[in-house]
Chains A and B, each alone.
Chain A
Amino acid sequence: MDSVLRAIAMFALLLLLFRMTGRRTLHDTTPFDFVLLLIVSEATQQAMVGEDNSITNAVLVISTLLLCNVGLSLLKIRFPGVGRVVEGVPTLLVVHGRPLRDRLARARLDEGDVLGAARELQGLERLEQIRFAVLEANGTISIVPEPSTGGWSASYPH
């Protein structure tokens, strides 16, 4: 029973902590972020497994975590509000080439991030070529180019 409760507690705690730190956290997968992720998983593993390194315990913990994940996805479908709270909502960052600076700052982004996404996805060079840039709920930046640029809509994991 202890393992199941520990796994549920850690699932809820991690969900809360990663939501607290914002959308950028897991999508900026720099090498340092990758190392950070490994350290977090190591610390989490210790807290969940405790002294019990048996296969039985591992199966229990993994099953609990997967079940929590399935449960959360079902909750998100049943109650759309849950999805909004857990994952956030998409936000417009650039409209017709005009950056909405306050939103960019609050999302811990700058024009360089948007231009980077525009360059990689659309081959665009200037903000004026962007019709809409959207910070998606999953942390990617979507770019909709102005029709005159001849690009196509795409999203970029920043």
Chain B
Amino acid sequence: MAEAPSDLPHAMRRMEADLPFQHRSWQVERLSWAMLLVLVAAGLLGIFGGSGPLVAATALTPDEAIRLRYERVQRLLLRTTLLVELPRARPDGQLELRLGPEMLEGWEIHGTMPSAVVSRSGSDGVTLVFETAPAGAGTTIRLMVEPRRVGVRRLSVAAGDGPPSRPAVLIWP
């Protein structure tokens, strides 16, 4: 590389003494550009939530009564929709959803579509009752939720008294 001559005035010599630092700065700068590129690529993939191929996920309750479609990566205060699907028909025409306390701590429920006909709270969370068509296969309930806590949190959704599905969700600040 081209070097400055040694017969420089004092001020310029002092400047040249800082050259190794400047070289390290340039190296860090180039490394930072690569990091920015990785950051943007990760954003496109959905690693930071919002949208992207890695965001969408599904989970079944252990008894396979309901299937959840959710975003495995979310952002604080960014509202998202949690889809609750009934793979099988329920003859009584009703669906009882139980949202566990751990989910209620991490998310604020902003509404459901359709609206719940009954909602009650207890020590095991909140229970919402929906009316479905008698041959309710393929029924989908939409829960509009908003993450309120940062970190890895677990959803907790169960059908009636059944075991809950508890998929982990990463919430970015």
List A residues 72-92 near B (Cβ within 8 Å).
Answer: 84, 88-92
A21-B16 in contact given A88-B25, A89-B21, A100-B2 (Cβ < 8 Å): no
What residues of chain A lie closer than 8 Å to B29, measured between beta carbons?
20-22
Residue pair A100, B15 in contact (C-beta under 8 Å)? no
B22 contacts partner chain A, Cβ-Cβ < 8 Å: yes
A97 to chain B, nearest CB (A): 12
CB distance from A134 to the nearest CB of B (A): 7
**Contacts A95-B8, A102-B1 given; does A89 touch B32 at CB 8 Å:** no
The reply to whether A89 and B77 form a contact with Cβ atoms under 8 Å apart is no
Inter-chain contacts of B35 with A (CB < 8 A): 20
Which of B140-173 touch A at CB < 8 Å? 173
Residue of A nearest to B2 (CB): A100
The digit string for A115-131, where 1 denotes a CB below 8 A from any CB of B, is 00000000000000000
Residue pair B36, A91 in contact (C-beta under 8 Å): no
- Which A residues touch B53, using CB under 8 A? none
A100 to B15, CA, bound (A): 14
Query: Measuring CB to CB, which residues of chain B are less than 8 angstroms from any residue of chain A?
Result: 1-5, 8, 12, 15-16, 18-19, 21-22, 25-26, 28-29, 32-33, 35-36, 77, 173
Sample of 16 more A-B contacts, CB < 8 Å, known A84-B18, A102-B1, A103-B2: A17-B36, A20-B33, A20-B35, A21-B33, A22-B29, A51-B77, A88-B22, A89-B22, A90-B18, A92-B15, A95-B4, A95-B12, A96-B5, A100-B1, A107-B26, A134-B15
Chain A interfacial positions (CB closer than 8 Å to B): 9, 17, 20-22, 50-51, 84, 88-92, 95-96, 98-103, 106-107, 132, 134
CA separation between A91 and B4, bound complex, in Å?
11
Residues of A within 8 A of B12 (CB): 92, 95, 132
A106 near B26: Cβ-Cβ < 8 Å: yes
Residue numbers in A under 8 Å from B173 (CB-CB): 9
Cβ–Cβ < 8 Å partners of A90 in chain B: 15, 18
Q: Is the CB of B25 within 8 A of A98?
A: no
Residues in chain A near residue B4, CB distance under 8 A: 92, 95, 100
How far is B77's CA from A102's CA once the two chains are assembled, in angstroms?
Answer: 47
Q: Inside 8 A of A103's CB, which chain B residues have their CB?
A: 1-2
A152 to chain B, nearest CB (A): 16
A selection of 14 A-B contacts at a CB cut-off of 8 Å is A21-B29, A21-B33, A22-B29, A84-B18, A89-B15, A90-B18, A91-B15, A91-B22, A92-B12, A92-B15, A92-B16, A101-B2, A103-B1, A134-B15
CB-based contact A20/B36 at 8 Å: yes
How distant is B160 from chain A, measured CB to nearest CB, in Å? Answer: 35
How many Å lie between the Cα of A132 and that of B5 in the bound state? 12
A44 to chain B, nearest CB (A): 14
C-alpha spacing A88/B29, complex, angstroms: 11
- Give the interface centre of B5, B28, B32 by most chain A CB atoms within 10 Å: B32
> Which residue from chain B places its CB closest to the CB of A101 in the assembled complex?
B2
- A17 vs B3: C-alpha distance when bound (angstroms): 30
Nearest 7 Cβ contacts at the A-B interface? A20-B32, A102-B1, A89-B18, A100-B2, A106-B26, A95-B4, A91-B22
